[in-house]
A and B are shown apart, each in its own frame.
Chain A
Amino acid sequence: MVSLEADALDPGALLANFCNGRSDVGAVVSFTGLTRAQTEGLAVSRLSLDAWPGYTEAVMAQVEAETRARFSVIDVLVAHRWGDLAVGEPIVFVAVAAEHRRAAFEAADFLMDQLKTRAPFWKKETGPDGQRWIEARPQDHADAARWTAGDTP
């Protein structure tokens, strides 16, 4: 399941709910992304995240479908914030449930790499040096490319 959230994410509650009532799952891996107070040496006091409701969820759902097709997982959850965020707030939460841990770890890693480089979000940071729009870093693209390195073109 994917969701685009205008209000604060509660990673603890999301994880507890995701784990609740499962008997077929041996492993749950979760990841929480937080907004940093600094990017590349520049201080950040606020972060504003634009999205395109409808399209943004469609791309997130596509990434979820690819994750389910590629790894032996039982369930996937992605919750992504948009709008104005303070420093230290959760910006993204993902959880993956699988029968065994390896698939859950790898699927969560894949999911985050794909979200960072493909999910339609646009980040603007505000700090004492002014405002600036952020793009996915070369490292983010290199991380995402790891998953296609062995695929046939």
Chain B
Amino acid sequence: MATVVMLGQLAELAGWRERRLEAVTLEALKALLSSEDPALGERLNGPGVITVVNRQMVRGDAELGPDDEVGFLPPVSGG
């Protein structure tokens, strides 16, 4: 179980911003999201999306615990 947050256009595409989801790794989480919503899954695995776990950018897989917070961030546009 981890808290999952979608930011920017990913929240719009998913239709939700924050959920608690059952997954023990990042890859398992992405597989779960892809099975629920293939379009979202494709976008999450596509270029430009950054994954942040507990405020640290993560590349590749990672284990997830119940207190972990995962954010999926599309390309930024500040200023």
Determine how close the nearest CB of chain A comes to the CB of B18; give it in whole angstroms. Answer: 10
Are A122 and B77 interface neighbours, CB within 8 A?
yes
Are B75 and A55 interface neighbours, CB within 8 A?
no
A136 in contact (CB, < 8 A): yes
Interface residue tally on A, bucketed by range:
20 to 34
Are B55 and A55 interface neighbours, CB within 8 A?
yes
Type the 1/0 row for A114-129, where 1 means its CB is closer than 8 Å to any CB of B: 0111111111100000
Are A50 and B71 interface neighbours, CB within 8 A?
no
State which residues 26-73 of B face A: CB under 8 Å.
Answer: 48, 52, 55, 71, 73
Residues of B within 8 A of A91 (CB): 79
Instruction: Select which of A50, A55, A112 is within 8 A of B8 by beta carbon.
Output: A50
Residues of B within 8 A of A33 (CB): 79
Interface residue tally on B, bucketed by range:
10 to 19
B7 in contact (CB, < 8 A): yes
Are A121 and B75 interface neighbours, CB within 8 A?
no
B78 in contact (CB, < 8 A): yes
Are A136 and B52 interface neighbours, CB within 8 A?
no
Residues of A within 8 A of B52 (CB): 55
Q: Give the docked Cα–Cα distance between A136 and B7 (Å).
A: 16
Residues of A within 8 A of B76 (CB): 117-122, 135-136
Instruction: Select which of A50, A119, A134 is within 8 A of B11 by beta carbon.
Output: A50
Q: Give the docked Cα–Cα distance between A118 and B71 (Å).
A: 15
A133 in contact (CB, < 8 A): yes
New A-B contacts (5) at CB < 8 Å, excluding given A54-B55, A121-B77, A136-B75: A50-B7, A50-B11, A91-B79, A122-B7, A136-B78
9 A-B pairs with least C-beta separation: A122-B8, A121-B78, A119-B78, A123-B77, A133-B9, A116-B79, A135-B75, A134-B77, A50-B8
A-B residue pairs in contact (CB < 8 Å), sample of 20: A50-B8, A50-B11, A52-B5, A52-B71, A52-B73, A80-B78, A115-B78, A118-B76, A118-B78, A120-B7, A122-B8, A122-B77, A124-B8, A124-B9, A133-B12, A135-B48, A135-B74, A135-B76, A136-B75, A136-B76
